[in-house]
Amino acid sequence: MIFPVLIPVGPWVIHPHVFFETLAYLVGFRLYLWLRRRRGDPVDDGPRWSIVTAAAVGAVLGSRLLFWLEDPVATVGYLHRPGVLLGGKTLVGALLGGWIAVEVVKRQIGIRGATGDLFAVPLAVGIGIGRIGCFLSGLPDGTYGTPTALPWAVDLGDGILRHPVALYESLFMLAMTVVLERSRALLWRGESFKLFMAAYLGFRIAVDSLKPGVSLALGLTAIQWACAGGLAYYAWWLIAQRSAKMSDKPHPTEVRT
């Protein structure tokens, strides 16, 4: 296999990152609309689209910010090339930035309840699709793994067998989609999204140890530290808050929307 693996579409040949990232957005958005029609939405149209807009803007900002923090020395070195700095992005930064922006907007418009459940499965599916494009893009994508002798190691073009970490992520997202759907009846409102976030952030802490990266402190990269911060919040919510809620609320199937 020669990387990048270009995708033929009619008379065009499209870069795999562009193809699968676009496909991820399209499939994820269509899946979100389908779930919204099928399961209903506790939030009215106006506030909901304000939340969606906040998530999109926050995702862009968070994605760029965490990318700049990944390698501060390189970021300073590229200050004279803003195109490079604006072109970089991180998925963890997008998720955390989108979440923070949504919480800010919800407070401004007076929404106190959880609103993220409808996004959980579309996000998992979209990430799983998008990471296929990362893998097929090879080394230039910057998401390759460290060398390994495991039988499923992949040579991305430099003669070194590496962990196919992007495919690990796609497989994890597939499993996460199944878990989210099968556990839905057991979860309170808001817990599907929190379960997705906690699982993904924990997974990234682990899988990013199989990627080359710049350590900021204690052997962890900026992305791993961001994941640890987000995971601490979501783990606390799922454990401590669930225990408190179970003492004074009916079974989750009686309150789901």
pLDDT, tens only, 128-156: 999 999 999 999 988 899 999 999 999 99
Is 225 within the bounds of a domain?
yes
List alpha helices for 138-190, DSSP H.
165-183
User: Helices 45-70 & 91-109, crossing angle to 10 degrees?
Assistant: 140
Q: Which residues pair with 243 in a beta bridge?
A: none
Compute the distance between CA of residue 35 and CA of residue 216 in angstroms, rounded to an integer. 40
Is 65 within the bounds of a domain?
no
The pLDDT, as a whole number, for residue 114 is 85
Q: What is the DSSP letter of 147?
A: B
Is 53 within the bounds of a domain?
no
Residues of the domain holding 177: 14-42+113-247
Q: How many helices (H) and strands (E) does the chain have?
A: 10, 4
Q: What is the DSSP letter of 241?
A: I
Which amino acid, residue 50? S
The pLDDT, as a whole number, for residue 113 is 81
pLDDT in tens, the chain (257 residues): 899 999 999 999 999 999 999 999 999 999 999 999 999 888 887 888 899 999 999 999 999 999 999 988 888 988 888 887 787 889 999 999 999 999 999 999 998 888 899 999 999 999 999 999 999 999 998 889 999 999 999 999 999 999 999 999 999 999 999 999 999 988 888 889 999 999 999 999 999 999 999 998 999 999 999 999 999 988 887 777 666 666 655 545 444 43
Which class for 132: exposed (0-12), middle (13-18), buried (19 or more C-beta within 10 A)?
A: buried
pLDDT tens figures, 187-220: 888 889 999 999 999 999 999 999 999 998 999 9
Is 161 within the bounds of a domain?
yes
Is 8 within the bounds of a domain?
no
Domain count, the chain: 1
Is 256 within the bounds of a domain?
no
Tokens coding 175:
């499993």
Is 213 within the bounds of a domain?
yes
Is 185 within the bounds of a domain?
yes
The pLDDT, as a whole number, for residue 228 is 96
Compute the distance between CA of residue 184 and CA of residue 181 in angstroms, rounded to an integer. 5
Would you say 144 and 211 are in contact if contact means Cβ atoms under 8 Å apart?
A: yes
Count Cβ atoms below 10 Å from residue 244 Cβ, excluding itself: 10
